[in-house]
Amino acid sequence: MILTPSSNRDNGVLTLIYSFHMPAFIFLNGVFSKNASLMKALRFGAIYLIVQVIYILVVHMTSYPWIVETHIVVTPIFHVWYLLSLTFWYFLAILIKRFSINRRIVVAVSVLAALLIRYTNFNIDGNFFSYMRTIVFAPYFILGFHVTRDDLSKLRAKTKKYKGLALLISSFLILFNYLYFAPRSAVWMKMFFGYVNCTQLNQNYFVFFLKEIAQSFVSAIFIVILLILIPNGRGILNYLGRHTLFIFICHPLIYFIVYNHIERNNIGDFSAIILAIVLTMISIAFSLFLENICLRLRTLVHQ
């Protein structure tokens, strides 16, 4: 998200990241949702409401140029939709476990719904209650839910010798992104966002369907490649992974503050990447600082 305020609309790196990063996160959330419970689902819902209210206040304070005016509490601001969708997906996981629903049926229905939901918006904004993204990205969560950690360990063990090939394929996909996705990012970015329907993009139904398939195909390939390339040892990525939630919640605050102070129309890809790296480091440090304060306050309360 930090790359967004520092980039113009045709940034190829941004397009590449959006082509797979949410499906990958959602898939991993599904993997770690085996112990889904009502309390966990409600917890995500409560976090959503708290963060949404904070963002509404900060957006107004920083004069950020966009904020939804209607249904403001249940129309998520930016990536907060993920917390709301996660709430719904956890409820779905509870139902799947409670009634032992056949996995093939669940996967088939979710894929069909994901492919068809964007052919109509029922005259409702796709962001409202995050309903469209919840359905579009649900197959990744469900697939992750039905994949065990043992399955992932076996996959990584079997593909360990193919890391070189995975890097080669990654390089090819990055090149493909620059040659195809980036020049057409105005359309593809909206596809990757998951809440824009066929009519809004003014697309032929058949062409749109092929693009949905292409989007899913690219996401699936990148998820497999990431599973192959993720290192086993402890490192900075492992450390950041343990603090993901706070970074996820806090980094947009930097986004809101800097948005009006960056000229995006004339910025190049390289400059945007450098600026995004700097802002990302600031955001991570800020997030970890706030998390440390919250942990200290929690400790004092429980003493």
C-alpha separations of 5 from 22, 119, 265 in Å: 18, 30, 11
Helices 81-99 & 21-31 angle (0-180, nearest 10): 40
Residue 5 has pLDDT above 60, yes or no: no
In-domain check, residue 92: yes
Residue 82 is predicted with a pLDDT of 94
* 71-84: pLDDT as tens digits: 788 889 888 999 99
Asked, for residue 262, whether it belongs to a domain, the answer is no
pLDDT in tens, 228-242: 877 765 556 565 666
What angle (nearest 5°) sits at the alpha carbon of residue 75, between those of residues 74 and 81? 95
Within a domain: 204? yes
Query: Is 240 part of a structural domain of the chain?
Result: no
Its pTM stands at 0.87
256 falls within a domain: no
Domain count, the chain: 1
The 10 Å CB-count burial string (b at 16+, else e) for 248-258 is bbbbbbbbbbb
Q: Residue 289: inside a domain, yes or no? A: no
Residue 284 domain-assigned? no
Q: At residue 264, does pLDDT exceed 90?
A: no
The beta-carbon contacts of 93-96 under 8 Å, at least 24 apart in sequence, are: 93/30, 93/33, 93/36, 93/141, 93/145, 94/36, 94/37, 94/38, 94/41, 96/142, 96/145
Q: Please, what is the average pLDDT of the chain?
A: 83
Q: Where are the beta strands (DSSP E) in 14-55?
A: none
- Asked if 152 and 30 count as a contact pair (C-beta separation under 8 A), the reply is no
pLDDT, position 142: 96
pLDDT of the residue at 3: 60
pLDDT per position as a tens digit, 39-93 = 999 999 999 999 999 888 888 888 877 666 667 888 898 889 999 999 999 999 9
Q: Of all residues in the chain, what percent carry a pLDDT higher than 90?
A: 27
Q: Which domain holds residue 156?
A: 13-233
Q: Is residue 225 part of a domain?
A: yes
